[in-house]
Structure 1
Amino acid sequence: MYSQRIKIWPDEKVLLAKIARGREDAFAIIYNRFRKKIYTFSLQMLKSEEQAEEVMQETFLKLWQLQDDVERINNLEVYLRTLTRNKCLNVIRRLKLEVSADREMKWSWDEAHNETEEHILLRDTTNVLKAGIALLPQQQRQVYQLCREEGLKYEEVAERLNLSPLTVQTHMKMALRFLRNHLSKHTDLVILTIIFRLF
């Protein structure tokens, strides 16, 4: 019978209670304690540094957004490991769907298509995305441009804009959510598939 118990830090409940009250200092302790474990675990599953970084940020964002429910967590390490694993599996499932969609598009695509038409399509879809970016609130737009267009990490953006990494994560999530909704309203399915690759 398995009797060994997973180690729980004596201050874990205290930190979670502080996070429930919006204490960023307590969140920073948890972040520094687990970020390397979560990143390494994600990297092993996804084999992609960029995707592992994104899963790590999403995992911590989820923890922060739990608010009062965060105090119901009985074992933080088990919770974070399970959450990370589920997010990695979601990424893997999404990638498989994208590969499948790519295959379908290859077979259905007219091989005699005109390169000029392809250029026009790409230009039009890019314009839709640019229009959506212009509609973002200023800080969300700055965060999106620094992360996606300049390739900066959340910590680097936070330092440049004098914000906390958590605030940067939140702005990025909101920006992406808005842009996806904007694109889905202004493009058809084929164009949407192409333009989402620009993210």
Structure 2
Amino acid sequence: MTPSKTEATFNDEKSLLHQIALGDAHSFSIIFHRYSPKVYQYALKIIKSESLAEEIAQEVFVKIWKLEGQLIEIKNLDAYLSVLTKNHTLKVLRRMALEFKTSRMRGHDYKEEHNETEEYIIFKDSEKILNQAIEKLPAQQKLVYTLCHQEGLKYEEVAEKLNISKLTVKTHMQHALRFLRNYVSTHTDIGILVILMTLLSESL
């Protein structure tokens, strides 16, 4: 009986992965050229940056190459690459957001430290949505959020500055962050959402 197209593809992939596990560069090249466009498109859909999507695609396949013996355990390469790409893309977004958050807290201009135009555009879009949400906060919550998250003051410092208790500051922050997270989750895509959720963490 002639194997189906699906079975043939599966057997071909298993053979290629087995060869890659043994260090065969030619088999790796076949897998790379077969799947890298799909990996790139999937990363691009999340991160909205061509240059970053290209970097992610390259890094995903570097990781595939380094898996060595673990490659033969992969049952569905297409699904495996999708999960690997998603996880790595979200990791990149979280790293970018933390860098941006640290830069703002230190009073540095993120644009001056990064030349990736697309990356900066992502942050400008993120800031636009976040600023829209901040403007909708009640006055006291907005003030507390601004002092804590945008000026980098600790709860104790805000409490002293506003002549209110630390617990009141914390309560205002919790309400503000809850509203902001709900707002951004319904007004943006997954890439910017990851950045905003990182920026809206409570670690001060």
**TM-score normalised by structure 1 residue count:** 0.49
**TM-score normalised by structure 2 residue count:** 0.47
The structure with more radius of gyration: 2
If asked which structure has higher relative contact order (CA below 8 Å, sep 6+), I would say 2
